[in-house]
């Protein structure tokens, strides 16, 4: 049976995904089960989508209720679930962000942000960061650094300028008169869980203000509590002009959003950007329940305390195992950088009952749900101990 599902996917999916040899059929909280009933602690969680835990009860209830009432409603009609969600989301967004465009993924959120920046400023260039990741649709890919994602599709549009993440002097040099916006991840996720130097994000904000350039903060991976605050940019007291969200926004259902200020939003005219599924009632109902779960069920607090515990424990691994080059992270976004390729260790972790993922060739990334418990962290750490003690340098 296991082979059948794997064989079917391998035969019929366009082969663009790096596959792990597990067939997941059920999930609850920070655990998933495979087709043979084996249990895993899930530190991938749908690449961050199951932020509030697999099958979070609030989300399940909201989806059940909504799907019996209305599933599809285009944004050209008004809808109760969408209106309620917008009100709630705007009430927790960084100051000044009062308008939201609803879409279906992170890359789509970035696409919308690009258009908004162009329309609001009348300029075209966007400054992005080396090692930054913003998605793989053509506009988002243009802002994504890694050559391995870009090279097959060159020439890409030429509206991007890359600067080193963390280097404000280079940023300043890049801010010529034709720049519409700077796009930045508060912590680089796909790039290796890179926390910027203290003060960098604030300096980016200042430079944007000096030059009248918009600041787009990409919170697709870091948003909704992943780093212990609702928005990662809060750690550095930075308020974006445009903010991209997706991944965990709707408890695992496909959804994305871009928030912006009134003056930026109202430069967009009717018809200039729309999407059939954007603002879908089912996704909105799930997203409302997701926010409630994060803010009312103690998930932010758990993310901070259990995240701290996990970080301390993986830092101990750095002291004990030579093969570990670094352990870092914030909240429940963490990484273990090895001195070797992580492919084999990741496969061994699966055998030990833990799912984790790549962040480049040498970084193991952990994106568990906010509800992960200390006991589950202990399971992850003892699995890591067994795996690391078998890795040859
Ligand atoms: C910071 C960031 N932006 C954008 C994206 C793209 O999101 P999606 O895969 O939903 O298109 C990702 C996905 O990993 C991301 O981490």
Question: How far is ligand 1, taken at its centre, from the CA of residue 385, in Å?
Answer: 30
pLDDT confidence band for 359 (50 / 70 / 90) = very high
**Tens-place pLDDT, residues 78-91:** 999 999 999 999 99
**Which of these three, 278, 296, 314, is where a domain ends?**
296
Residue 133 lies inside a defined structural domain of this protein: yes
Burial state string for 140-161 with b = 16 or more CB within 10 A and e = fewer than 16: bbbbbbeeeeeeeeeeeeebbb
Ligand 1 atom nearest to CA at 137: 11
pLDDT of residue 13: 97
**Which of these three, 296, 328, 349, is where a domain ends?**
296
What residue owns the CA closest to ligand 1's atom 7?
106
pLDDT of residue 113: 99
Do 262 and 280 share a domain, yes or no?
yes
Do 113 and 8 share a domain, yes or no?
no
Do 63 and 51 share a domain, yes or no?
no
**Structural domains in the chain (count):** 2
Instruction: Give, as one character, the DSSP assignment of residue 104.
Output: S
The stretch 3-16 carries a mean pLDDT of: 94
| Rounded Cα gap, residues 384 and 335, in angstroms | 12
Domain of 68 in residue numbering reads as: 58-296
Q: Does the pTM exceed 0.95?
A: yes
Residue 393 lies inside a defined structural domain of this protein: no
In sequence order, which residues have a C-beta less than 8 Å from that of residue 335 and are 6 or more positions away?
192, 193, 326, 327, 328, 329, 359, 363, 364, 365, 366
Name the residue with tokens 């069920």: 297
Do 86 and 125 share a domain, yes or no?
yes
pLDDT of residue 393: 86
pLDDT of residue 98: 98
Question: How far is ligand 1, taken at its centre, from the CA of residue 348, in Å?
Answer: 27
Q: Is the pLDDT of residue 195 over 80?
A: yes
In the structure, which protein residues have their CB atom closer than 6 angstroms to any atom of ligand 1? 105-107, 110, 133-135, 185, 189-190, 218, 220-221, 246
Do 97 and 49 share a domain, yes or no?
no
**Which of these three, 249, 265, 296, is where a domain ends?**
296
Question: How far is ligand 1, taken at its centre, from the CA of residue 321, in Å?
Answer: 32
pLDDT of residue 149: 97
Do 63 and 151 share a domain, yes or no?
yes
Q: Is the pLDDT of residue 152 over 80?
A: yes
pLDDT of residue 270: 98
**Tens-place pLDDT, residues 292-349:** 999 999 999 999 999 999 999 999 999 999 999 999 999 999 999 999 999 999 999 9
Do 333 and 287 share a domain, yes or no?
no
CATH of the domain at 175: 3.40.640.10
In sequence order, which residues have a C-beta less than 8 Å from that of residue 80 and are 6 or more positions away?
281
The stretch 207-236 carries a mean pLDDT of: 98
What residue owns the CA closest to ligand 1's atom 10?
106
Residue 351 lies inside a defined structural domain of this protein: yes
| Rounded Cα gap, residues 179 and 176, in angstroms | 6
Do 207 and 280 share a domain, yes or no?
yes
Q: Is the pLDDT of residue 228 over 70?
A: yes
Tell me which residue of 189, 190, 239, 197 sits closest to 217, measured CA to CA: 239
Do 158 and 257 share a domain, yes or no?
yes
Do 132 and 239 share a domain, yes or no?
yes
Residue 172 lies inside a defined structural domain of this protein: yes
Do 174 and 319 share a domain, yes or no?
no
Q: Is the pLDDT of residue 1 over 90?
A: no
Q: Is the pLDDT of residue 2 over 70?
A: no
pLDDT confidence band for 3 (50 / 70 / 90) = low
Q: Could you tell me what percent of the chain has a pLDDT over 70? A: 99
Task: With beta carbons less than 8 A apart as the criterion, state whether 247 and 48 touch.
Answer: yes
Ligand 1 atom nearest to CA at 254: 10
Ligand 1 atom nearest to CA at 136: 11
Q: What are the counts of helices (DSSP H) followed by strands (DSSP E) for the chain?
A: 13, 15
Question: How far is ligand 1, taken at its centre, from the CA of residue 114, in Å?
Answer: 14
In sequence order, which residues have a C-beta less than 8 Å from that of residue 262 and are 6 or more positions away?
98, 99
| Rounded Cα gap, residues 356 and 20, in angstroms | 10
Residue 338 lies inside a defined structural domain of this protein: yes
Cross-strand partners of 291: none
Question: How far is ligand 1, taken at its centre, from the CA of residue 116, in Å?
Answer: 18
Question: How far is ligand 1, taken at its centre, from the CA of residue 109, in Å?
Answer: 9
Q: Is the pLDDT of residue 350 over 80?
A: yes
Ligand 1 atom nearest to CA at 47: 14
pLDDT confidence band for 69 (50 / 70 / 90) = very high
């Amino acid at each position: 049976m296991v082979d059948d599902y794997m064989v079917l996917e391998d035969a019929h999916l366009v082969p663009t995904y790096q596959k792990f040899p597990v067939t997941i059929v059920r999930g609850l909280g920070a655990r998933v089960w495979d087709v043979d009933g084996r249990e895993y602690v899930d530190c991938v969680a749908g690449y961050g989508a199951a932020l509030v835990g697999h099958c979070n009860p609030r989300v399940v209830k909201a989806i059940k209720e909504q799907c019996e009432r209305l599933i599809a409603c285009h944004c050209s009609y008004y809808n109760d679930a969408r209106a309620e969600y917008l009100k709630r989301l705007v009430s927790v967004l960084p100051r000044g962000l009062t308008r939201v465009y609803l879409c279906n993924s992170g890359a789509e959120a970035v696409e919308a942000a690009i258009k908004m920046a162009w329309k609001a400023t009348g300029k075209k260039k966007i400054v992005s960061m080396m090692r930054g990741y913003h998605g793989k649709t053509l506009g988002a890919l243009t802002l994504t650094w890694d050559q391995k994602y870009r090279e097959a599709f060159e020439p890409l549009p030429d509206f991007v300028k890359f600067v080193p993440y963390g280097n404000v002097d280079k940023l300043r040099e890049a801010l010529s008169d034709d720049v519409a916006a700077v796009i930045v991840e508060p912590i680089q996720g796909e790039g290796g869980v890179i926390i910027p130097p203290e003060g960098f994000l604030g300096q980016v904000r200042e430079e944007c203000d000096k030059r009248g350039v918009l600041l787009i903060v990409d919170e697709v991976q870091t948003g909704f509590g992943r780093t212990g605050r609702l928005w990662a940019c809060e750690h550095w007291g930075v308020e974006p002009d445009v903010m991209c969200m997706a991944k965990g926004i709707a408890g695992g259902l496909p959804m994305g959003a871009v928030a912006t200020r009134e003056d930026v939003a109202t430069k967009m005219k009717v018809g200039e950007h729309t999407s059939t599924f954007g603002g879908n009632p089912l996704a909105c109902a799930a997203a409302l329940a997701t926010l409630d779960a994060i803010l009312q069920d103690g998930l932010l607090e758990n993310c901070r305390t259990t995240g701290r515990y996990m970080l301390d424990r993986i830092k101990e691994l750095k002291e004990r195992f030579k093969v570990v080059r670094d352990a870092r992270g914030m909240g429940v976004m963490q990484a273990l950088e090895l001195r070797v390729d992580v492919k084999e260790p990741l496969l061994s972790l699966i055998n030990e009952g833990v799912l984790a993922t790549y962040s480049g060739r040498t970084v193991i990334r952990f994106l568990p749900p906010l509800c992960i418990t200390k006991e589950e962290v202990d399971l992850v750490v003892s699995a890591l101990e067994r795996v690391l003690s078998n890795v040859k340098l």
